[in-house]
Chain A
């Protein structure tokens, strides 16, 4: 089996598993875990927005929570205060996140590296404090609770997030679509231009790439991913809150992305799964699960500096005999 075939087989197994979650997981564990998988998907998408910027363009953003928050509030305010139905609210969340990314990006991508990291934190903190203080609009720290409008209505049949299975598949489909789009972008001419800028921005400008504009495009795309994640999370939790705009939320996404493997499409999914699963598995037995998360983060840095996906890629490259069965077993074991 070639490396490519192994990856294809793995992907097929992964896809099959994801599609079967609403039936296999409750049978093995409980319905709660279906929601957990959905939550992991949403946060993976959020970490993917960090990955797009850091892994593919070389910009380390510590402020992606801002666009997550805008996606969330777009949905929350849209439904609660503007009386929007599902799709307009979804659209409002995404557009709000992208607009905010465009406006802040115009300023932020003039800077790079540490300066970029700091200015993205500063922007997100400004809007975090604004959101906390504008209680009439945002509900402050308490947030906005809203009742879920239906997603589709065909005559008498109504599809809504109140149905756990529908909710799961809607989230899965949306996240999968976003990852597919990102996959297309990364392999496209635009994606190669991103990589060139990540590698050597001076050289990139000398071959005729408009570095500023390309960074801005990437920033808005990342804003889109974070915005979709935020909007989904608002639907998922039926609420929106300023706490999700704090810089620590952005920081977690950076860690998930790097631990999973920056610059690799599936890196964020792996990193996010590991951390959220540890949290859930440990927190039921021991309230100090953060301690374990901390040790895992340090351990990964020491043992897998290219991230877990990087470890996998290296192994795939170095392997001599293809032990195909062992691999499938391996992946299944990482699932809950």
Chain B
């Protein structure tokens, strides 16, 4: 088997006195959809920030396909093929939907030409049109992204992930705040993408996690609490303990265990 898609070695991030990620060593093999779950403050988003370069680790290394990417800038990491979404939906609000896709594509594929009109690039335009169709946003292509509904913004996020041809996609709570119908659509899209792309997903919605994830890693207090497939996690005592006091999540765990 080839090098794991993502590996962290003793990864640590401290904010003042608080250790958000604590000596975390993970090895995520390629070709599987990974989910990271855990209670609030477990360090999941911090982990994503460390991998994507928004934060620099206090100690430890991050390896992408065996290559050390620790300390690289966000855009450098992005150009290696690691793309991510942010927990709070974040697109370019004043650009049109099509331009959001366009710039995402151009950022990783083209030298930014200073004088030629952006609209003249035919390859780019076709690719944008295809992605619009894939995400069902064609009708909204010219709308400023800031005027979209929440669910459409989430679709746009997924479209931006698609068009950037990622090798590894980090999704931070992609279904957060979605209606059930929107969640179903998003889950379907994520599944499709996972056929060709390695995906790591942070998700609070337990049914979603148990439905789509091949492997689950449970984090608590910056460290790995447990890892395994859905059945193993659902049966794990420590995981139940970590979620105690959050009955709705416990229900999900039980539900999944009986499923």
Contacts and interface: CB of A to CB of B under 8 A. Distances in A.
Task: Please say whether chains A and B are actual partners in one complex.
Answer: yes
Interface of A: 181, 184-185, 187-193, 195-196, 198-200, 202-211, 214
Interface in B78-99: 78-79, 83-84, 86, 90-95, 99
B118 interface: yes
Contacts, number: 103
Contacts of B104: 207
Contact of A199 (B52, B84, B94, B116): B94
A189 B118 contact: yes
Contacts of A210: 73, 75
A195, A205, A207, A211 — most chain B CB neighbours (10 Å): A207
Interface of A is mostly: helix
Given A192-B103, A196-B103, A200-B93, A206 B84 contact: yes
Nearest to A185: B114
Interface stretch (B105-113, B134-142, B249-257): B105-113
B95 A192 contact: yes
Nearest to A194: B112
Contacts of A207: 78, 83, 103-104, 107-108, 160, 164
B115 interface: yes
Given A200-B90, A200-B91, A200-B93, A192 B75 contact: no
A313 to B, nearest CB: 13
A188 B95 contact: no
Given A189-B113, A203-B90, 6 more contacts: A185-B115, A187-B117, A188-B113, A199-B92, A202-B54, A202-B86
Contact of A208 (B95, B108, B114, B117): B108
A199 B93 contact: yes
Interface in B57-73: 73
In the complex, which of the residues A198, A202, A203, A206 has the most CB atoms of chain B within 10 Å of its own CB atom? Answer: A206
Contacts of A190: 112-114
Nearest to B99: A192
A206 B112 CA distance: 16
Complex A-B, nearest 4 residue pairs according to Cβ-Cβ distance, in ascending order: A208-B78, A205-B74, A199-B92, A208-B107
Contact of B78 (A189, A195, A198, A205): A205
B119 interface: yes
Given A199-B95, A206-B84, A207-B83, A188 B115 contact: yes
B117 A184 contact: yes
A193 B94 CA distance: 12
14 contacts: A184-B114, A184-B117, A187-B118, A187-B119, A189-B118, A190-B114, A192-B99, A195-B95, A199-B93, A200-B90, A202-B74, A204-B92, A205-B74, A206-B86
